[in-house]
Structure 1
Amino acid sequence: MTAADADAPLDRALVEEATKKSGLVWVRGTGPARALWHVWFDGAAYLVGDGPGEQPFPPGLTDGATVEVTVRSKDKGGRLVAWTAAVTEPAPRSEEWEAAVGELRTKRLNAPDAERMPERWARECRVLRLTPGEVRTRLPDGSLAAAPLPTHATTRRPVPAGLPRLLKRGRKG
């Protein structure tokens, strides 16, 4: 038995616990990594996305691909562990798909159509299973910081015209 064989159960436990507790994982396919929300279920991370109103998947996140997953600490935000994952896409409405969607549905926040969400996901989105492979316990020395990906989302808008007057009026009292 080699040292790597002895560490394998500990590595798997680290992947499972870190991924369960983290709200986001960073997934890199063929392009830049993207932060994705997920659920840990049945020994794998499940994702839903690539449809209207859902998270976009990074390029290369397709059935049969191998991707790199980096898990961050929920409290500090730093990298805990990185692992390779085999990507599979369960057929919509299959037994595996239904079980995964049951878990994903409970974690999906702010859904506009909570009751009809599984039907929409079957029709318009993709549900993926990321099964852990090789665990990389040695993390890179550098920061791996990258420029943010382009997005249509924004939080900046012009200040409403009446806001300065409202703020000034509030100070008089």
Structure 2
Amino acid sequence: MASDVPSAPLMDRALIEESAKKSALVWVRGQQGSPRALWHVWHEGAVCLVGGPGEQPLDGLGLADGGRATVTCRSKDKGGRLIVWPALVAELAPEGEAWQAAVAELKGKRLNAPDAEELPSRWARACRVLRLEPSGTALQRPGAMPAESHAAPPLPTAASTRVDAPSGLPVRRRRRG
């Protein structure tokens, strides 16, 4: 007797596609390094992204052609982790048919580009366009999330939000009641 309920991989695939389409960012972990938030587009069954000089940094992630990555998509309404899935990484050859189709989609989503008309030629010269295609069943999804926290401490930085008040500002005095 056939079931009317889609199998888990079909449900995973639908959730992957919808969450990737609706979110501006995905978190990608390659063969090395920590996961990194990257802007992307969903195009022809995969997450497509561009990185390199003048774009988002991909160095240190270990995203190599033919390699594997893990992609985390967030919930659009709550902002929390919704689904984590394994992906096969393909680096698209500049000026190829698949590259041109992906770049056309990416160009439309690229915000604040200083050289909007020259993006494709700059990307062909100096950047990498990657395609991350879902491969296998989801590692985490609603109903199958780990119990432990995945919170990570902030990376070390010299930035600070707490500084002494400038000497020219008036001092507020406490009122005595």
Normalised by the size of structure 1, how large is the TM-score? 0.81
**Distance across 2 between alignment mates of 1:117 and 1:19:** 23
Deviation digits for residues 136-163 of structure 1, max 9, x if unmatched?
A: 22222222122345689x797x99x8x9
Is 1:90 the counterpart of 2:92? The answer is yes
Q: CA deviation at 1:59?
A: 1.8
- 1:171 corresponding residue in structure 2: none
Is 1:141 the counterpart of 2:147? The answer is yes
Structure 2: 5+ residue runs without aligned partners? 171-177
CA change 1:150–1:85 in 2 (3 A) is: farther
Q: CA RMSD in A?
A: 2.7
Alignment size in residue pairs: 160
- 1:104 corresponding residue in structure 2: 106
Greater helix share, structure number = 1
Is 1:113 the counterpart of 2:119? The answer is no
Deviation digits for residues 69-126 of structure 1, max 9, x if unmatched?
A: 1101123210000000000011000000000000000001011100101111111110
Q: Which has the larger radius of gyration?
A: 2
Structure 1: 5+ residue runs without aligned partners? 166-173
- 2:33 corresponding residue in structure 1: 31
CA change 1:151–1:87 in 2 (3 A) is: farther
**Distance across 2 between alignment mates of 1:94 and 1:146:** 39
Normalised by the size of structure 2, how large is the TM-score? 0.80
- 2:68 corresponding residue in structure 1: 66
Percent identical: 58
Counterpart AA for 2:152: A
**Distance across 2 between alignment mates of 1:103 and 1:87:** 18
